[in-house]
Amino acid sequence: MFKKPLKKIIITSILIITSQIGIKVATANPAYNPIPLPLGKEIKDTLSKSDFPTGEGGFARDYIVNLKEGELVEIEVKSASFDTFATLLSPKGITIDQNDDVAEGTTDSLIYSRILKTGNYTIRVRSFGNQSAEGVFTLRLTRLKRE
């Protein structure tokens, strides 16, 4: 006579407890949120071990920007603290272009890219290779031409 209601109470209690555990785990892990990047303004930021790991021994910091079809953009990353590596990713996360050193003997990065489709693009800044370098850098995104 008491088995059915007791069974429902136990199952309901288990569901409530497990759902509460899930909520605590979800709030303990912050979501991935790239930093909004304004066009034409140089920003100064810092790459550190608190940024997300690249899986290659270093860390990266991501920025998001809305770009329009036909735009030609220049992405420049400079640092006196580490050898920069810049990557431009499509709205689907596919690498469009990347650069380590703009010229022989430098450690700054420079990308020129024509945007083929309007959307939110990601610019990833990290140190070259498997370095876990940290430090201050500047990032500038400039619209050169729009067709």
Domain ranges of the chain: 1-31, 35-146
pLDDT tens for each residue of 30-67 = 567 899 998 788 999 999 888 888 887 788 999 999 99
Between CA 138 and CA 130 the distance in angstroms is: 21
Residue pLDDT, tens place only, 76-126 = 999 999 999 999 999 999 999 999 988 888 899 999 999 999 999 999 999
pTM, two decimals, is 0.75
Q: Both tokens of residue 133?
A: 């370098």
From the list 123, 111, 124, 110, the residue with the least C-alpha distance to 59 is: 124
Radius of gyration of the CA atoms of the chain, in A: 22
Looking at domain 35-146, its CATH class is mainly beta
Cβ neighbour number for residue 109 with a 10 Å cutoff: 25
